[in-house]
Amino acid sequence: MNLLVTGGAGFIGSAFIRYVLSTRAGTRVVNLDALTYAGNLENLAAIDGHKDYRFVRGEITDQPLVESLLADERIDAVVHFAAESHVDRSILSSKPFFDTNVLGTLALLDAARKTKLARFVHVSTDEVYGDIDAPHEADEGFPLRASSPYSASKAASDLTALSYVRTFGLNLSVTRASNNYGPYQFPEKLIPLMISNALTGKPLPIYGDGQQIRDWLYVDDHCRGIWAVLERGAAGEVYNIGGNCSLPNLDVVRRILTFTGASESLLTPVADRPGHDRRYALTSGKMERDLHWSPLMDFETGLRLTIDWYRANSEWTQRVQSGAYRDYYEQNYGSR
C-alpha cells in the first residue's frame, strides 16, 4: 500500500510514520509537511534513508501539488494529520487555523475526489464536542459544540470531510482522539511543557484552578487506532479514540513533579485561558466493538516513559525552544 501522510513531521504524524515503517512491511509512506514551527524532521531521524519513505516539503493548501503526489506516487490512502493544533495559539491568532485546518483539508478532499483516491482517514479531536458535564461521555453522535477557534476549525473540517462521503462517495472515515502525550511532543501542550519546565526548574503555569479534566491517550495507542480505522473503518463513520484516563490537570502536573523530583514550589497559578473547556470526556466503545481496539498503555508507565525521553533528549527540547518559541512563550504567558 502507498500512503500519503500529511503533517508527518509533527508529534502524532511522526509517531504514526515510525509505527507504520516498523510494523507494516510493504507499506510505502510519502510524508507531505510544510515544516511549520511544529514540524521537525529530527522526529523522523530513526527512519532517515528508509527505502519505503519519502519526504516532500509542501503545503496541504497547494492542491496541484497534492494532486500530482496522489497520481505520481500512486497513493492508495491519505492519512491526514497536518493541522495547526494548539488552542492557545488559536486564541492569539485564529486565521492560520482556518487556512490549514479548513481550507487545507478542503484542498486534500478535492484532490482526493479528482484522482479517485481509494481511502482517506481524517484525523480529528474530541475537542469538537466541547465541554461535557459529568458524568456524561461523548459518543460519536454527540453534538459538535466547539469552544475555541482551534476546535471550531477542526469541527468545520470534520463536517466538510463527511460531506464528501455523502456528496461525492469518498471512502473516508474521521477519528476523534483525546489529548495525546508521549515523546517528541512540542513543548507548548500541557504534559511536555510541564516536563520541560520541571526538568529545568522553571515555573509550571496552571491555568485557573487546575481542575479542568482531560482524557490522556498515549501516542502509540492512538497510532494503532488510526491504523485500525484505515484498514477496517467504514466510510462515513466517525471513531472516538480515548485513553480511558480522565484526570484533572493539577493531578497530572503533580505526578510530573513527583516523577521528575521537582519542587512543588514551581506550581504557579496564572490567569485562566479564555473560553477554557472544563471537561472533555469520550467513550471509545465503537472502536472496541467494531474494530477490536483498546488503549494498552497505563498512564503512570506512559508518563514515566515520556519523562525519561525528555530527560534523555534535552538537546531536542533546547533546539525547538529557540527563537520563535521564546516569542510565543512571552506572548502567551508574559501577561498572565
CB of 62 to ligand NAD, least distance (A): 8
Active site residue 88: no
Interaction with ligand NAD in 112-131: which residues (CB under 6 A)?
123, 125
| Residue with grid cell 491555568, as numbered in its chain | 207
| Residue with grid cell 470531510, as numbered in its chain | 161
**68 vs 79, 114, 228, CA distance in Å?**
17, 11, 27
- Cα 41 to Cα 319: distance, rounded to the nearest angstrom: 12
Q: Is 11 in the site for ligand NAD (CB under 6 A)?
A: yes
- Cα 180 to Cα 193: distance, rounded to the nearest angstrom: 13
CB 76 within 8 A of CB 115: no
Out of 207, 259, 309, 325, the residue judged to bind ligand TYD by CB under 6 A: 207
187 binds, among ligand NAD, ligand TYD, none (CB under 5 to 8 A by kind): none
10 binds, among ligand NAD, ligand TYD, none (CB under 5 to 8 A by kind): ligand NAD
Query: Alpha helices of the chain — where are they, by DSSP H?
Result: 11-23, 63-72, 87-92, 95-97, 105-114, 149-168, 190-200, 219-232, 249-260, 285-291, 299-312, 314-320, 324-333
Active site residue 218: no
Residues that bind ligand NAD (rule: CB under 6 A) add up to a total of 30
Interaction with ligand NAD in 75-114: which residues (CB under 6 A)?
81-85, 100, 104
Site map (CB under 6 A) of ligand TYD, residues 255-294, x = contact:
------------------x---------------------
Q: Is 177 in the site for ligand NAD (CB under 6 A)?
A: yes
CB within 8 A of 80, min separation 6: which ones? 6, 7, 60, 105, 108, 120, 121, 122, 123
Interaction with ligand NAD in 182-221: which residues (CB under 6 A)?
186
Out of 214, 222, 224, 255, the residue judged to bind ligand TYD by CB under 6 A: 214
Crossing angle, helix 249-260 and helix 190-200, to 10 degrees?
30
Run of H or E residues at 267: strand 267-270
Out of 33, 59, 84, 126, the active site residue is 126
CB within 8 A of 226, min separation 6: which ones? 16, 79, 121, 123, 175, 241
CB of 319 to ligand NAD, least distance (A): 15
Active site residue 150: yes
List interacting residues with ligand TYD (CB under 6 A): 87, 127, 179, 189-190, 193, 205-207, 212, 214, 249, 273
Binding region for ligand NAD (CB under 6 A) = 6-7, 9-13, 33-36, 38-39, 59-61, 81-85, 100, 104, 123, 125, 154, 177, 179-180, 186
Catalytic residues: 126-127, 150
